[in-house]
Structure formats: C-alpha cells, structure tokens
Chain A
Amino acid sequence: MTARVRTPRKPPHQTRTLVLDTISHAGLTLVALLFLFPFFWMVSNAVRGNNEVLAVPPRFLPTEYQWGNFAEAWLRLPFGKFFLNSFIVAGSVTVITIIVSSLAAYAFARLKFPGRESILVAYLGTLMIPQVMLVIPLFLIVSRLGLINTYQGMILPMAFSSFGAFLLRQFFLSIPKELEEAALIDGASRLRILISIIIPLSLPAIGLLSLFTFIGQWNNFLWPLIVVNGMDHATLPLGLTMFQTQQGTSWNYIMAGATLSMIPGIVLAIILQQLIYKGITVGSGFGGR
C-alpha cells in the first residue's frame, strides 16, 4: 500500500521526477474527471425539475436547484423499507456465501476425497451458464418450496455461488500447510483449524468476496422482480423502476433514488479497501471479472 519513495541523490533528477510526477497526477486526475462525468450528470439531473431533464440543448446545471428531490424520492415510495429489504437480502446472502464457501473451499483445498476434481470442475462450469436461463426453473423450485414473496426465497437461491468457493480455494491453497500441522497433531478438529487459523489469515479474500457479493445482490434486479410480490419485500432496484409508470417517467426521482442507493456500496468499498487490497492476487490471482 505505502508508496516507496526513493530518495534520489542528484538535484536535477529530483526536479525532473517532480515535474513528471505532477504531469502524471494531473493526467490521471483529468481521466478520472472524465470518468466521473456520468455521476455529475446523474446528480445534476437528480436536483432539477422533471421537465428539464430532456431539454435540448442540455443544461449542464439546473435553472433551479431542487434539493428536495432527494427527500421527495425517499418519501414518495417506502424507500426506507426498500433500503432495509436490500440490506437484509444482500447482507444475508453475503454472510451465507462466506460461511458456505469457506467450508467448501477448505474441503477442496485441504481434504482429499473421491470425486474432488470432478465436483470442482462442475462448480466452475456453472459460472459459464447464462443466468437468465435459470430463472424459470429456479422460480418453479422456489414456488414448490412455498418461498415466493419471502426473504428466504429471495436469499437462498442467490447464496450458493460457486465463484465464492473457487475464489477462497485459490486463496487457501496459498497458505502454508505447516501452520495447520501443529494444530492437527494437538488434536484440533478441521473445523477449529478453519475457524481459528485459516479464516483469520484469509481476511483479504473474504473481504473481497463480501464486497463483490454484497454489491452484486444490492444491485440484483431480475431475481427479486420475479420472486417478490408487492411492496413489502421489494428491494431498491425494484423501487427505482417504480418511478417509471404508465403515467410517465420521473427521471429526476430515479436519479435521486439511484444516487442515494449507491452510498452504502461506496462506504463499504472505502472501509474494505485496506483489508481487500492485499488479498486479490495471493490466491494465484483469481478474482474480478
């Protein structure tokens, strides 16, 4: 994390490096500003009247700032409830994914059993199946289980991603075996070893998996849409589409609601960054997309 500042000996070099550094920083800042333009546009549209959103030529700033749109978007729909539902679903999926994936990953990484390689390959194969095709069979299963319009029905089908098991397996493999052997000789169970030795060492990978899982579920749209009826269990992405009605589209409220809904993810990323940062590559570099 900490940048290694080399101490150059010769003054001419120093000024040259300084100039290059400044150019480099300025250049990337420019790129970042360009990159952030859509967010500027999002917020700028969130605080204007709905009739100004599609004005031609576009107005970069609203003629009249309507900061109340944030409150309006929040109050017009039960957004508090949507936030809570999103938290419950994304949080539970994340927790279950971490537990289930750690257990499975440990078995794949450290235990020998018949069929290990075939099961792992089968897990990996499922990453390549287009998700949209699984929706209907999945819905049939969930409705047989009587879980339509319940938190369980929203959470369980999303909580067993093979991505998590594979990511953690790669990380566990990179942890030296010697660390466990002493504990094994002392008669510690495998579960104890997993909890007290492996998990604490794997926090970076677990942080990364948490972030990816949480964000993925926070923004998940198709599955909640299919499995939720009405407002009681609706999540934020479903809430945002409720501003598109038969009577017209409230562009400004969608933008305001979207801005609000991004806050938890950004906070989480900033919090987890330190933890994650050392984790991604160690497990032979599997992650991202």
Chain B
Amino acid sequence: MADIVSTQAKTAPRPRRRNKISAYETRTAFLFLLPSLLGFLAFMLIPIIASFGLSFTNWQLLAPPQFVGLSNYIRLLTTDPAFFNVLGNTLFFTVEYLVLNIVISLTLAVWISSLKRGQRWFRVIFFIPTFTPTIAVSIVWLLIFTPGGVMDYLFQTLALTVPNLLLDSKLAMQAVIIVTLWAGVGYNMVLFNAALDLVPQSYLEAAKIDGASAWDRFWKIRLPLISPTVFFGTVMTAITSLQVFDQIYVITRGGPGSSTATLGFAIYTNGFQNYQMGFASSLAWVMFVMIMALTGFQFWLQRKWVHYDS
C-alpha cells in the first residue's frame, strides 16, 4: 500500500508558496479529517488495540480476562492439533478461489464488453447475488447440495456417478468455492468491465489494421491497459478470501471432518461457540499477519505485470 501513497507524495509539486500556507492547510485538513478520525478512533482503533490485548489473555467471556502472556500463540503453534490443518485449508481456498474468481470475472467482463446489445442487463444479472441476504444464499445452496437434493438428482438423471460434494472430505471445499464464486464474481466483473470500456478504441483499431488477432489484442493491449484495475481487484479479493467465514459457517460448518475449517471459521468457533475469546484473538492476529504478508507479496509482484500509464 505504501507504494500508492508515496508515488503521490513524490509527484506532487512543492513550490515554496505552498509551504507558507501549510499551517493554514494543516488546520483545514484537520477539520476535514476530524469526523473521520473520531469515528476511526472510537470504532476501529480502540477495538483493534483491545483485540490485540485480548490475544494475551485467557478470556472465557463469562469471567474477567486473565493475562497469560504468549501462551495462546504458543498453544496454536505447538499443541493445537487443528491449527495447521486450518491454515492449510485457508491457503487452499484462497489460492483456488482467487485464481478462479479473477479468471471467471475477467472472462465475463471481456465477453460482456464484446456484446453489441444487452450489456447492462448482463451486468445486473451477474451482480444480483450481492443483494442476496446470506441466510437465503445459504439455504438455497444447501437445498441444491444436500444429499438427495437438486445436484444429486441432476447427476442421477444424467447417469453420472458423482459423489455428493458435501459428504466427501476432498470435495467439500469445492462446494464452498462454487458458492463463494457465485456470490463474489459480480464485484470484479463490474470492475473489470468498466475498465475495459475505457480502453481507447483507437488502440484496438490500430492493432487490428496491423493484423493482430483478437487473442493478441487482448493479451498485448487490453490486459496491460486494465492491469492496474485487475491488480486492485486481486488484492481486495485476496484480503476477503483469507477471511472467508460466512459461506463455511452456513453451509458446511467446517465439515465433513475438518475438511472445510478455515481460519475465519476457527476464530468464530473458538470465540463465540467455545467462548475462548483470548485464543480466538490470537488466531485473528495470525490471520492479520498472513493478510499483510500476502498483500505485501502482491505489491512486490505487481512490478512484474502491472502496467502503469504515467
């Protein structure tokens, strides 16, 4: 994130005249920021610090917290049998979901932008799942996936022997990924579609005259031009997919076995079901570090493929 910030700082002109009014500007800026800062402090920063503090306690919610030092962190790294499994599930989900989400939403975006008619209707259709209340999403998909439900019926009718996704510990995560993709590709599709619309038509025409195929035009012109948008979509999707919780909570509850238990799910179960808020907080901070690391990695990687037009 620091990159975006510092680019702006570097490119901003700094004539002397500006420096003289900076005291006034600082005051104005402070007034502009005041409401946001107050809210940020009360409803973000203080809770975050509190949750960090809680990760060093043994808080069972019903009795006051006790300071236990690093023992939550030591427990999750050494004795907890579930932690590394949960970590593995989370990474598996994130990688597969991230790749599929970007590929599918980009494909849909390119496809829709190539249409001559009905673009806006397709955009709304693929965006509809975002309006759907989580509980409804979960029930509809459960009715589809449940043993004896629509999915099984369909495979039976087609005489295919596909095991029920929710009953197979190797496939259950695929069910979660399908639901998450259905619910989530709309955001990135809208984003990429808008970016594609802004690619100057003249570039594409010129390339066409030079004899570039549609395939080449996509890889050599359109993708590089929208790469900053794709990059931001990827970063945001990665952040949210490492936190995946809702779909797992409502569809598989971590099962069968522990094949779909992720970090987000483990935080909820430990905190709100087993009432071990201190331990749950330490899991949350492990997750935070992972998200930071992945985001940092993506910023490092962007130099290789993101094309900034400046």
A and B touch in the complex (CB under 8 A): yes
Interface of A with B (CB < 8 Å)? 1, 3-5, 21, 24-25, 27-28, 31-32, 35-36, 38-39, 41-42, 45, 53-54, 56-58, 99-101, 103-104, 106-107, 111-114, 116-117, 119-134, 136-138, 140-141, 156-157, 159-160, 162, 165, 173, 190, 215, 218-219, 221, 236-237, 240-241, 251, 254-255, 258-259, 261-262, 265-266, 269-270, 273, 277-282, 284-289
Interface of B with A (CB < 8 Å)? 1-2, 4-6, 8-9, 12, 18, 22, 25-26, 28-30, 32-33, 35-37, 39-40, 42-48, 50-51, 54, 61, 108, 111-112, 114-120, 122-137, 139-141, 143-144, 146, 148-150, 153, 182, 184, 187-188, 190-191, 194-195, 197-198, 201, 226, 228-229, 231-233, 236-237, 239-240, 243, 245, 264, 267-268, 271-272, 277, 280-281, 284, 287-288, 291-292, 295
Select from chain B the residue with minimum beta-carbon distance to A286.
B232
Q: How many Å lie between the Cα of A140 and that of B237 in the bound state? A: 30
30 A-B residue contacts at CB 8 Å?
A5-B116, A32-B125, A113-B25, A117-B9, A121-B2, A121-B5, A126-B44, A129-B284, A130-B264, A130-B287, A132-B271, A133-B281, A133-B284, A137-B48, A137-B51, A141-B47, A160-B43, A255-B139, A255-B140, A258-B132, A258-B133, A270-B124, A273-B123, A278-B197, A281-B191, A281-B198, A281-B229, A287-B232, A288-B188, A289-B240
Per DSSP, chain B at the interface is helix
Minimum CB–CB distance for A157 against chain B, Å: 4
Q: How many Å lie between the Cα of A37 and that of B136 in the bound state? A: 14
Q: How many Å lie between the Cα of A178 and that of B292 in the bound state? A: 37
Minimum CB–CB distance for A14 against chain B, Å: 13
Does B264 contact A128, Cβ atoms closer than 8 Å? no
Does A162 contact B122, Cβ atoms closer than 8 Å? no
Minimum CB–CB distance for A260 against chain B, Å: 10
Can you list the 7 inter-chain pairs with the closest CB atoms, starting with the nearest? A160-B39, A258-B136, A265-B131, A285-B229, A137-B47, A104-B36, A137-B50
Does A4 contact B201, Cβ atoms closer than 8 Å? yes
Does B153 contact A57, Cβ atoms closer than 8 Å? yes
Q: How many Å lie between the Cα of A130 and that of B44 in the bound state? A: 11
Residue among A107, A137, A258, A281 making CB contact with B135, cutoff 8 Å: A258
